[in-house]
Amino acid sequence: MEIKRVVITGLGPVSPIGLGAGAFAEAQRAGKSGIGPITNFDASTLRCRIAGEIHADLSPFIETREAKKLDRYVQLALVAADLAVADSGLSREELAGERTGTLVGSGIGGMNTFEDQARVMVERGPSRVSPMFVPMMIANMATGHVAMRFGATGPSSTVVTACATGSGAIGDASRIIQLGLADVMLAGGSEAAITSLSIGGFGNMHALTASHNDDPQSASRPFSASRDGFVLGEGGAVVVLEELEHARKRGARIYAEVVGYATSADAFHVTMPAPEGRGAQVAMRQALKSAGVNPEQVGYVNAHGTSTPANDLNETLAIKSVYGEHAHKLAVSSTKSMTGHLLGAAGAMEAIAVAQALFEGILPPTINLTDPDPALDLDYIPEGAREQQVEYAMSNSFAFGGQNAVLVFKRWNG
């Protein structure tokens, strides 16, 4: 059986630092922070009062009447899909039909809708709960609405693996194309969980930073000695994945090739990573194996890099174990330092960052790394974006529940 090759031909980031591929790339080069005070609700009584919100006007993409029937996470997914398709140059007519599929995941789903309708039930009774409650809340609705928007009747599914969702969606979608079941897949993740319930829950488990409320732009600080938790963000990230010959025939611009993917389980703890990133090591090694790539060929790793004490240490140890002596020759960075942690959209947003890095020869920085943790001694690109062309890059995503997803990309040489 012939295994098809898969390339990325469209990028659709909807992020706290920019909407669209151009704005997102420019913000990374500038080391821009998208973190600020929470405006979605009154967070004045919470430990963490900052987040990576999106303030862009979405009305050019979604009519007001339509938006009222969609949870925010679905809205962000639709905008991301629109941007990715426009960037790819594919028309709606070309996408319609059974050779185009959709795989857009969410770590949580419709949290805004859940909170709103729970409040209605408590205050007014279950008979007043909206009939749209369930179809607005459930986690597969991003995929469903993206498919309906473009008439894509091919393979369709949803990944829900918390913070590994976006990477898992792109990896699973790539396999669908590799097996010849589709020519094009719209894949990625979306999350809109900046709500009082989410911030309260994450904050009370001490997962969120609580020490930078007065200086939000410095709050997400992966690999620093003063890191004390992640910053929640929202966003949508969709890529157009295309079978190589399909892309070539239409003269598509190719950002990068998806060459490796693997998942694993820590089988250790519901929130803490396994010691020394043992589960992450399995996914990283298997992703390299599936790509047919030796560790020494990889030049850049987009780290999961959440800015929590446990993740950053154990991910660093995992990278050292997998890459050996080459680990100190790798460029490593965490774009979460700029966007915050987008949960189910994180892996897909970071895949976009990697595709742009390979295409442009510019590696994104880890901002706010002003006080490096002496126990973390890799090259985390701390001083700003770096002009450096690499041939292969890895993107790591690790989730609550110990679920890991790792992607490997190759620079497109034509």
Largest CA distance in the chain: 63
Q: Are 233 and 51 in contact (CB under 8 A)?
A: yes
β-strand partners of 172: none
Whether 341 is catalytic is yes
Whether 206 is catalytic is no
48, 145, 163, 246: the catalytic one is 163
Output DSSP code: residue 212: -
Whether 304 is catalytic is yes
* Nearest by Cα to 363 from 20, 88, 80, 31: 31
Residue type, 153: T
Alpha carbons 350 and 233: distance in angstroms, whole number: 13
Buried b (16+ CB within 10 A) or exposed e, 20-56: bbeebbebbbebbbbbbebeeeebeebbbbbbbbbeb
145, 212, 246, 341: the catalytic one is 341
How many angstroms separate the Cα of 23 from the Cα of each of 11, 28, 30, 292, 360?
A: 12, 9, 11, 33, 14
145, 212, 246, 304: the catalytic one is 304
Please list the active-site residues.
Answer: 163, 304, 341
